[in-house]
Amino acid sequence: MLVSVFDTISFDIHGRVAVLAINRPAVLNALNHQTLVELLQAVRSIALDEKIGGAIITGGGQKAFAAGADIKELAAMTPLGAQALSHQGHALMDMIETLGKPVIAAVNGYALGGGCELAMACTVRIASETAKFGQPEVSLGLIPGYGGTQRLPRLIGKGRALQMILSGKSIDAHEALRIGLVNEVVPAAELLARSTAVLEAMMANAPVALRLAMEAVNRGEGAALAEACAVEADLFALSAATADRTEGTAAFLSKRKPVFQGA
């Protein structure tokens, strides 16, 4: 079901799954200002809609997930404009990462620059065999500006991240899998089906527990272990106070399937 009409993205809902597709195939789904704004609006609507349990982000067409920022906009920006653009990108990526609902990046082609950063902000990345990943900003006299210098080292380690960022070279899907940048690589024809299956397996669990588990991981990342475990204990306590905990444990003891209400 098509729920909203945008100029640069499509937004559909299938059951409890929202599917966002960047729809600028003529420019390899480059992320211009309008696309960032529309993606942010769509993600906000997903956050507010209790009927939606999770989302898939992908690219329209056959070649690209999102091949970076719009070079025409980059060429014309001032330093203050660059700072504003970076903050805009951060706002989108942070909202995706902290949505409280799982988001799958179904990477169907080029995921370069901002496209790679968009994929990294998602909960899980599933790539087609034709996908390519890279942070080529240095070849334009720039650095990654939508979180790439921060999320990439956290995902694949400092050394590998610096090699990708400083060389500007792209890697294929199988190398991305080897170094931990993506979770799975599947044939292109199976990408959306597999992404949906992974998402639905997550959504079968208690919604509040999903949100709290992701919050624990995000808040604990980079913190000292003792501090991170304190965060975990607090969120564990919150999960224990939910009706879904009561339902989940009762269902297990009764050997039946739980019926979670998200409360």
Tens of pLDDT, residue by residue over 203-258, are 999 999 999 999 999 999 989 999 999 999 999 999 999 999 999 999 999 999 99
| pLDDT over 70 (residue 66) | yes
Chain segment 246-255, per-residue pLDDT in tens: 999 999 999 9
Chain segment 81-110, per-residue pLDDT in tens: 999 999 999 999 999 999 999 999 999 999
Are 139 and 239 members of one domain? no
Residue 107 lies in a domain: yes
Are 216 and 196 members of one domain? no
221 has catalytic annotation? no
DSSP per residue over the chain, as a string? Answer: -EEEE-SSEEEEEETTEEEEEE--GGGTT-B-HHHHHHHHHHHHHHHH-TT--EEEEEESSSSEEEESB-HHHHHH--HHHHHHHHHHHHHHHHHHHTSSS-EEEEE-SEEETHHHHHHHHSSEEEEETT-EEE--GGGGT----SSHHHHHHHHH-HHHHHHHHHH---EEHHHHHHTTS-SEEE-GGGHHHHHHHHHHHHHTS-HHHHHHHHHHHHHHTTS-HHHHHHHHHHHHHHHHTSHHHHHHHHHHHTTS-------
Catalytic residue among 129, 137, 200, 232: 137
Domain limits for position 107: 2-203
137 has catalytic annotation? yes
Are 221 and 109 members of one domain? no
Which pTM was predicted?
A: 0.94
Confidence of residue 3 (pLDDT cuts 50, 70, 90): low
Residue 258 lies in a domain: no
Catalytic residue among 50, 117, 184, 190: 117
Are 60 and 179 members of one domain? yes
At which of 187, 203, 219 does a domain end? 203
